[in-house]
């Protein structure tokens, strides 16, 4: 049916077209009576320019026959019509000024056209009479004359309007900007003629393009542009014609078919964040003093007043060694730090040459071509550190051939080190990452301020940096649930860890997230000593570190027991139950180890054991591990540790072997250092290249000062006695809890012990209750942790009554 209809249409257009063509020919040749009638009609319509009418009718007829469609009144054709009308009006005005003096206009026009008709049909040999623009020209002119003329001004008003109309007609017909038209040529004439020629060509193109093309496609080809375009720069959807793009690539043997790739620039995405800042001098080094920082972007509870410390003062920067142990303080008025503590983003990354990128793309294609590999660069993405050229191999080209040419490509581009990603996840292209001449700093502040971080649902959101497209990368430690950070010295690990800690401190009050920091290098994490988030002072003694990890394991086991008692499967559910009962929920615990290698040297077995136990079980208990090392060798990152820490961040390393140890694949040896990283969260099939967020020591110090001024650290994990040797078992005499004796009375009566039971009975916090249970275990009163079962009571009531006095005396 449809086919039949189509046939009918084709026939209709051809018959109509042929009829119109014949009429045009008859009119032009003034052949016979019919031809003469058409010619006379044309004369009355267009005056001296009567021949234009059959020409235009002929054009329309050809259009219909060839395109097999109705003649469309699109903007180009409307433009042509406007030009025709303006032209005829102008001719009419010219004629009118000289000929019609006192007789009515239409009569003069009629007489003139009659003269013309006579001359054409019976040529007398004299010069043709002037007949103006016919009734079309006369109609337009009469309207303009009535509307825009002031007597005695020689039709200045109508002339102005006709000129404007002509320009509009030209712009529409050529589908181009008049300003560009003038700019493109060296002068008006050249520009105009060039465009006219292109326009004619494109009209011819439109007429004779393949029949299979639809009418819509015809509309999409702008006149003035041939199908093979000259290179354009397309930056995130905006098209710039760039003549220099061609010049810039002159050094390269031009390829016959170079088509300009689309360029994406990360600053387009990062731009608004940078502009939001007003301080032009806001560089990583010039940090504004705290008081001067206006424009605060407080993340939560913005109006809460800043309170003086409420908890008993502790030794600030408490060094390792003895310290008092308390319970977790919940300070309702604690205010989260404002983002203005962080330095404004530096104005880097502006120095990008799109021409250079274009030229590189062309070099890439021609280099591959010289090795007999056909491939095209489709897109270019400029990231903060590297620019990725997305290469599409021609059919039949093996990916391995291109990967094998890595060094040759690096040589051709004079690049330090290039990394290939074959394929780019989610695309059928090979990514070739070439270092930028200038590395743009991604500031922690811009990532913290990004909607991705501010609006994330992640429980423990980490601001990590920006990827190649400029998108902020925000991780969720709860999902990770543990993170391994590795890279050679100076590659950016410490900056990354500082960013992670800062991310946590920006979103969580001290009673919500607790930190345990282990820093045997004694340099990086000491700055955090004294912050209220800490469970214990930063551990710098390697021997104590294993003990600290054991304490975390103990805590984890306690939590499992607590959860089991209430039938909760994880900390989320358990905390909900606690909240329902009006009790304080358990905080998340994040354990940060900065330099695993140092710990593994001292007590490899214990440390590996503890890390693996935490890694395997701690997720449900709300305990997360972040382990960093600069020695990614198999004796440090053992198979067991690796298997249990699924999320990884790799900074630059010196060998592919190291890269494999961290990421199970190559790539990190190609990184450039200074925060350039490969981020592989759990479940990701491939690592993402990210420029890590930069945070300076000064910023961290301001953050630490801000939280310390509000609340002092109250350490809840006792590392005072342990580490050097194994835990001293006779610590019963140490500072037993004031409730110790009462608690033992209770557990002996009940025949079983658990922290949650003590918590409920004595209405004390969880950590105090579990500390009492620990003390009972150390005193031999209760048995060890047994998973979900309550602990067994090891002594009888009589034994306890006998011993009780000595415990109470010790206490006094
Ligand atoms: N994200 C980043 N952006 C810009 N520069 C960075 C970034 N991270 C690190 N750097 C630069 O690299 C230097 C070294 O970084 P960092 O101290 O974090 O290295 P590291 O891997 O911790 O080294 P080490 O193992 O010796 O402690 C920094 O002083 C800084 O100048």
Mutational test site, ligand 1, from 285, 343, 494, 654, max ligand atoms within 8 Å of CB:
494
**698 is annotated as contributing to ligand binding:** no
Distance CA 291, CA 744 (A): 53
Mean pLDDT of 378-398: 90
Q: How far apart are the first and last CA of the chain?
A: 105
Mean pLDDT of 636-640: 85
User: Which residues make up the CATH 3.40.50.300 domain(s) of the chain?
Assistant: 326-347+441-710
Residue nearest to atom 5 of ligand 1 (CA): 674
* CA distances for 26 relative to 36, 112, 368, angstroms: 8, 23, 61
Atom of ligand 1 nearest to the CA of 651: 21
Atom of ligand 1 nearest to the CA of 691: 1
- CB-based contact 174:180 (threshold 8 Å): no
Residue nearest to atom 25 of ligand 1 (CA): 489
Q: For residue 280, what pLDDT is reported?
A: 34
**676 CA distance to ligand 1 middle (Å):** 10
Distance CA 753, CA 761 (A): 12
Mutational test site, ligand 1, from 436, 675, 677, max ligand atoms within 8 Å of CB:
675
Mean pLDDT of 155-175: 86
**727 CA distance to ligand 1 middle (Å):** 37
Among 620, 657, 348, 366, smallest CA distance to 488 is for 657
**649 CA distance to ligand 1 middle (Å):** 14
Q: For residue 807, what pLDDT is reported?
A: 67
**362 CA distance to ligand 1 middle (Å):** 35
Q: For residue 505, what pLDDT is reported?
A: 95
**490 is annotated as contributing to ligand binding:** yes
Share of the chain above pLDDT 90, in %: 24
Superfamily assignment of 326-347+441-710 in CATH?
A: P-loop containing nucleotide triphosphate hydrolases (3.40.50.300)
CATH of domain 731-811: 1.10.10.10
Atom of ligand 1 nearest to the CA of 524: 27
pLDDT tens column, 269-324: 665 444 444 333 333 333 333 333 333 332 222 333 334 444 444 434 444 456 66
pLDDT tens column, 495-514: 999 999 999 999 999 989 99
pLDDT tens column, 549-601: 888 888 888 888 888 888 888 898 999 998 888 888 889 999 999 888 888 88
For residues 429 and 142, the model is more confident at 429
For residues 180 and 791, the model is more confident at 791
Distance CA 197, CA 294 (A): 60
SS3 680: strand
Domain topology for 241-260+352-435: 3.30.980
Mean pLDDT of 74-96: 85
Q: Token pair 């006779």 is at which residue? A: 730
Mutational test site, ligand 1, from 492, 524, 690, max ligand atoms within 8 Å of CB:
492
pLDDT tens column, 92-148: 877 766 555 545 667 777 777 887 887 777 776 676 777 778 888 888 888 888 888
Among 691, 153, 776, 786, smallest CA distance to 446 is for 691
**494 is annotated as contributing to ligand binding:** yes
User: Which residues make up the CATH 3.30.980.40 domain(s) of the chain?
Assistant: 241-260+352-435
Distance CA 509, CA 336 (A): 7
Residue nearest to atom 26 of ligand 1 (CA): 489
**441 CA distance to ligand 1 middle (Å):** 12
Which of 131-140, 327-336, 695-704, 787-796 holds the top average pLDDT?
695-704
| Number of C-beta neighbours around residue 438 at 10 A | 13
User: Which residues make up the CATH 1.10.10.10 domain(s) of the chain?
Assistant: 731-811
Atom of ligand 1 nearest to the CA of 497: 18
Mean pLDDT of 711-732: 60
Share of the chain above pLDDT 70, in %: 76
Q: For residue 275, what pLDDT is reported?
A: 42
Mean pLDDT of 85-90: 90
Q: For residue 232, what pLDDT is reported?
A: 39
Residue 731 has pLDDT above 70, yes or no: no
Mutational test site, ligand 1, from 489, 674, 679, max ligand atoms within 8 Å of CB:
674
**588 CA distance to ligand 1 middle (Å):** 28
Beta bridge pairs of residue 536: none
Residue 726 has pLDDT above 50, yes or no: no
For residues 387 and 255, the model is more confident at 387
DSSP state string for 113-132? HHHHHHHHHS--SSPPPP-T
Residue nearest to atom 13 of ligand 1 (CA): 490
Residue nearest to atom 2 of ligand 1 (CA): 675
Distance CA 181, CA 326 (A): 79
**696 CA distance to ligand 1 middle (Å):** 10
Q: For residue 256, what pLDDT is reported?
A: 47
Q: For residue 771, what pLDDT is reported?
A: 84
Residue 474 has pLDDT above 90, yes or no: yes
Q: Is the ipTM of this complex over 0.90?
A: yes
For residues 733 and 471, the model is more confident at 471
Could you tell me the pLDDT band of residue 328, with boundaries at 50, 70 and 90? low
Q: Which burial class, exposed, middle or buried, applies to 660 when counting CB atoms under 10 A from its CB (0-12, 13-18, 19+)?
A: middle
pLDDT tens column, 214-252: 333 333 333 333 333 333 333 343 343 333 333 333 333
Distance CA 450, CA 462 (A): 12
Distance CA 53, CA 213 (A): 29
What is the rounded average pLDDT for all residues in the chain? Answer: 77
**564 CA distance to ligand 1 middle (Å):** 43
Residue 414 has pLDDT above 80, yes or no: yes
Atom of ligand 1 nearest to the CA of 630: 25
**488 is annotated as contributing to ligand binding:** yes
Q: For residue 219, what pLDDT is reported?
A: 32
Among 127, 106, 129, 121, smallest CA distance to 48 is for 129
**597 CA distance to ligand 1 middle (Å):** 18
For residues 174 and 527, the model is more confident at 527
**464 CA distance to ligand 1 middle (Å):** 14
Residues with CB under 6 A from ligand 1: 441, 487, 489-495, 630, 674-675, 692-694
Q: For residue 294, what pLDDT is reported?
A: 31
**489 is annotated as contributing to ligand binding:** yes
* CA distances for 131 relative to 97, 114, 120, 192, 559, angstroms: 12, 9, 12, 29, 104
């Amino acid at each position: 049916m449809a086919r039949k209809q189509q046939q009918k249409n084709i026939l209709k257009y051809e018959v109509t077209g042929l009829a119109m063509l014949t009429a045009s020919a008859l009119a032009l040749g003034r052949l016979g009576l019919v031809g003469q009638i058409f010619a006379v009609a044309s004369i009355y319509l267009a005056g001296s320019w009567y021949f234009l009418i059959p020409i235009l009718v002929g054009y329309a007829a050809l259009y219909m026959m060839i395109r097999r469609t109705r003649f469309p009144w699109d903007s180009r054709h409307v433009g042509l019509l406007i030009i025709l009308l303006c032209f005829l009006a102008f001719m009419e005005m010219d004629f009118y000024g000289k000929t019609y003096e006192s007789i009515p206009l239409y009569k003069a026009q009629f007489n003139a056209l009659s003269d013309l008709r006579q001359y054409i049909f019976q040529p007398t040999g004299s010069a043709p009479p002037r007949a103006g623009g016919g009734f079309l020209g006369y109609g337009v002119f009469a309207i303009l004359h009535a509307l825009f003329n002031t007597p005695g001004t020689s039709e200045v008003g109508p002339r102005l309007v006709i000129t404007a109309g002509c320009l509009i007609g030209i712009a529409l017909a050529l589908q181009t900007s008049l300003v560009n038209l003038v700019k493109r040529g060296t002068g008006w004439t050249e520009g105009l003629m060039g465009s006219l020629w292109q326009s004619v060509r494109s009209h011819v193109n439109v007429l004779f393009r393949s029949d299979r093309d639809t009418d819509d496609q015809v509309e999409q080809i702008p006149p003035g542009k041939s199908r093979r375009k000259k290179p354009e720069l397309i930056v995130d959807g905006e098209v710039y014609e760039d003549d220099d793009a061609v010049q810039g690539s002159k050094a390269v043997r031009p390829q016959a078919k170079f088509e300009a790739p689309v360029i994406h620039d990360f600053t387009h995405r990062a731009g608004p964040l940078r502009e939001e800042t007003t301080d032009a001098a806001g560089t990583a080094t010039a940090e504004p003093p705290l008081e001067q920082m206006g424009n605060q972007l407080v993340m939560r509870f913005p109006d809460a007043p800043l309170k003086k410390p409420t908890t008993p003062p502790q030794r600030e920067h408490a060094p390792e060694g003895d310290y008092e142990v308390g319970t977790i303080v919940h300070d309702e008025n604690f205010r989260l730090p404002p983002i203005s503590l962080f330095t404004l983003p530096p104005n880097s990354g502006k120095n990008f040459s799109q021409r250079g990128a274009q030229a590189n793309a062309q070099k890439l294609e021609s280099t591959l071509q010289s090795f007999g590999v056909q491939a095209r660069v489709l897109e270019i993405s400029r990231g903060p550190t590297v620019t990725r050229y997305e290469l599409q191999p021609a059919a039949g080209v093996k990916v391995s051939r291109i990967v094998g040419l890595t060094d040759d490509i690096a040589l051709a581009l004079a690049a330090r080190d290039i990394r290939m990603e074959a394929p780019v996840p989610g695309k059928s292209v090979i990514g070739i990452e070439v270092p930028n001449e200038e590395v743009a700093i991604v500031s922690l502040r811009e990532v913290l301020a990004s909607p991705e971080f501010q609006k994330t649902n992640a429980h423990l959101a980490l601001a990590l940096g920006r990827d190649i497209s400029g998108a902020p990368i925000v991780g969720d430690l709860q999902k990770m649930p543990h993170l391994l950070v590795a890279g050679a010295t100076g590659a950016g690990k410490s900056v990354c860890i500082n960013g992670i800690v800062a991310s946590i401190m920006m979103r969580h009050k001290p009673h919500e997230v607790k930190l345990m920091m282990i820093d045997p290098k004694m340099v990086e994490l000491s700055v955090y000593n004294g912050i209220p988030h800490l469970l214990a002072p930063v551990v710098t003694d390697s021997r104590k570190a294993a003990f600290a990890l054991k304490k975390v394991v103990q805590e984890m086991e306690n939590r499992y027991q607590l959860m089991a008692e209430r039938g909760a499967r994880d900390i989320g559910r358990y905390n909900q139950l606690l909240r329902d009962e009006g009790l304080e929920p358990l905080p998340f615990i994040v354990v940060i180890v900065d330099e695993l290698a140092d710990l593994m040297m001292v007590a490899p077995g214990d440390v590996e054991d503890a890390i693996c136990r935490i890694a395997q079980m701690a997720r449900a208990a709300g305990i997360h591990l972040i382990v960093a090392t600069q020695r990614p060798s198999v004796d440090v990152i053992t198979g067991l540790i690796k298997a249990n820490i699924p999320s990884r961040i790799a900074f630059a390393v010196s060998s592919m072997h190291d890269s494999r140890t961290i990421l199970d694949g190559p790539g990190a040896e190609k990184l450039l250092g200074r925060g350039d990283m490969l981020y592989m969260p759990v479940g990701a099939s491939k690592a993402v290249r990210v420029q890590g967020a930069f945070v300076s020591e000064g910023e961290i110090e301001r953050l630490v000062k801000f939280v310390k001024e509000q609340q002092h650290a109250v350490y809840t994990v006792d590392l005072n006695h342990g580490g050097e040797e194994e835990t001293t078992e006779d610590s019963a005499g140490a500072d037993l809890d004031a409730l110790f004796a009462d608690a033992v009375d209770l557990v002996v009566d009940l025949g079983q012990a658990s922290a949650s039971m003590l918590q409920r009975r004595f209405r004390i916090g969880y950590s105090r209750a579990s500390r009492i249970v620990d003390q009972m275990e150390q005193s031999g009163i209760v048995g060890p942790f047994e998973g979900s079962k309550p602990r067994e009571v090891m002594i009888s009531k009589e034994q306890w009554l006998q011993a009780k006095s000595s415990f109470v005396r010790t206490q006094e």
